[in-house]
């Protein structure tokens, strides 16, 4: 289930997981399966009430009607697949074989937790260590030292302290950038959830769609008009209702993907600038011979390259490109 991370600069960041979305997505897919099942049962019930003589009149095409019902089922299943993706539509009468825009959005949403638990914490730890290095560098004095050598040492200590604080600031900004990106991902997750919940609300069947109510209506129509009464009933109301409810979701996902691309681009620019600044600072220290003692790049006090440049705890290229 979702986990909330409290941050100083960006408020609460909620990391949603599959457990938050699976029940809702499965429910929506199941709603279509149920709709088709009930619609088929309703048609079969109507057939059972017909005497059969009208099957051969010019105004009724039994085979064509059944074919149109099948087309409705295929169309509704395709719409559900476009909305939810292959994973959640494998149990439909006509499984979806393609991909949905929702797939990429959910992949992005599910990485908030790993990024907050991984790179975000790592950058925070690096910033804390760099702060400690700066404080220690500021506090180094050798009272017995006098003259030019002592003054040179003090200048280097101050320089190292300032460099440490500067790199601390870079690390903090990297951490805050991850927070901000994760916060935006949280907003996208909540928009996805709201859109799915709105569809679910639409699909709460009205009493008139209950099979018992519908079969009673068929009985009444047959009693009035015989086979023509059964033929004149409206069928596949439920399947059409589900189709209408989900058909607009891909456009919602497209709008969110466009938002996604905007902040991905911004995130990449910030990430690249920060990386260049950190690498330049490390090179400065390496050239100056600061790799020992209180240097900022030694194995004890420094920042491991794999951690420093870590983006996400996975191999997904989309996420590597969009985060830090």
Identify any residues that bridge with 13 across adjacent strands, giving them in sequence order.
5
Residue 144 maps to a domain: yes
Q: Is 164 a domain residue?
A: yes
| HEC assignment per residue over 168-232 | HHHHHHHHHHHHHHHHHHHHHHHHHHHHHHHHHHHCCCCHHHCHHHHHHHHHHHHHHHCHHHHHC
Determine contact, residues 149/264, Cβ cutoff 8 Å. no
pTM of the prediction?
0.74
Q: For each of the chain's 324 residues, which pLDDT tens digit applies?
A: 888 888 877 788 889 999 999 999 999 999 999 999 999 998 888 888 776 544 444 455 667 778 889 999 999 999 999 999 999 999 999 988 888 999 989 988 998 999 899 888 988 998 999 899 889 888 776 666 677 877 787 788 888 888 889 888 888 888 888 888 888 889 999 999 999 999 999 888 765 677 777 777 777 777 776 666 666 677 888 899 999 999 999 999 999 888 766 667 766 776 677 677 677 767 766 665 544 433 443 333 332 333 323 233 333 333 333 332
205: left (phi over 0), alpha (psi -120 to 50) or beta: beta
**Domain assignment of residue 256, yes or no:** yes
In a domain, 1, yes or no: no
> Minimal CA–CA distance to 290: which of 282, 300, 280, 279?
282
Question: Which own/partner pairs from 292-297 qualify as long-range (CB within 8 Å, at least 24 positions apart)?
Answer: 294/133, 294/136, 294/137, 294/140, 294/157, 294/160, 294/164, 295/160, 296/130, 296/133, 296/160, 296/163, 296/164, 296/167
Residue 125, domain member (yes or no): yes
List the structure tokens of 253. 């996902």
50, part of any domain = yes
- Give the 3-state secondary structure of residue 7: strand
- Tokens 């959640």, located at residue: 88
> At CA 31, angle to CA 30 and CA 36, rounded to 5?
95
Q: 58: domain range? A: 15-322
Instruction: Give the pairing type, strands 11-15 and 3-7.
Output: antiparallel
Rounded to a whole number, what is the largest CA-CA distance in the chain?
118
Q: Is 5 among the domain residues?
A: no
Provide the total of helices (H) and of strands (E) in the chain, helices listed first. 12, 2
When divided into structural domains, the chain yields a total of 1
- In a domain? residue 195: yes
Give the C-alpha separation, 323 to 183, whole Å: 12
């Amino acid at each position: 289930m979702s986990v909330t991370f409290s941050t100083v600069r960006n408020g609460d960041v909620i990391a949603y997981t599959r457990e938050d979305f699976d029940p809702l997505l499965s429910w929506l897919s199941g709603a279509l399966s149920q709709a088709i099942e009930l619609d088929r049962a309703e048609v079969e019930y109507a057939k059972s009430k017909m005497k059969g003589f009208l099957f051969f009149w010019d105004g009724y095409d039994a085979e064509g009607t059944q074919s149109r019902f099948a087309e409705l089922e295929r169309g509704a299943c395709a719409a559900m697949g476009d909305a939810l993706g292959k994973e959640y539509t494998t149990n439909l009468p006509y499984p979806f074989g393609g991909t949905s825009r929702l797939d990429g959005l959910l992949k992005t949403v599910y990485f908030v937790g790993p990024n907050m638990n991984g790179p975000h914490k790592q950058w925070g730890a690096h910033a804390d260590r760099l702060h400690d290095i700066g404080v220690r560098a500021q506090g180094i004095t050798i009272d017995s030292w006098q003259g030019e050598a002592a003054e040179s040492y003090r200048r280097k200590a101050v320089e190292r302290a300032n460099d440490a604080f500067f790199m601390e600031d870079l690390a903090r900004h990297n951490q805050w950038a991850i927070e901000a990106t994760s916060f935006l991902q949280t907003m996208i997750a909540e928009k996805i959830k709201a859109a799915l919940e709105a569809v679910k609300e639409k699909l709460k069947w009205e009493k008139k769609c209950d099979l018992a109510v519908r079969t009673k209506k068929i009985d009444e129509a047959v009693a009035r008009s015989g086979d023509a009464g059964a033929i004149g009933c409206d069928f596949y109301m439920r399947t059409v209702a589900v189709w209408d409810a989900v058909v607009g979701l891909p456009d919602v996902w497209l709008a969110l993907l466009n938002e996604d691309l905007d902040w991905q681009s911004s995130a990449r620019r910030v990430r690249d600038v920060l990386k260049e600044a950190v690498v330049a600072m490390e090179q400065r220290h390496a050239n100056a011979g600061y790799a020992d003692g209180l240097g900022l790049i030694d194995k004890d006090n420094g920042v491991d390259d794999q951690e420093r440049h870590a983006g996400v705890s996975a191999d997904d290229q989309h996420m590597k490109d969009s985060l830090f």
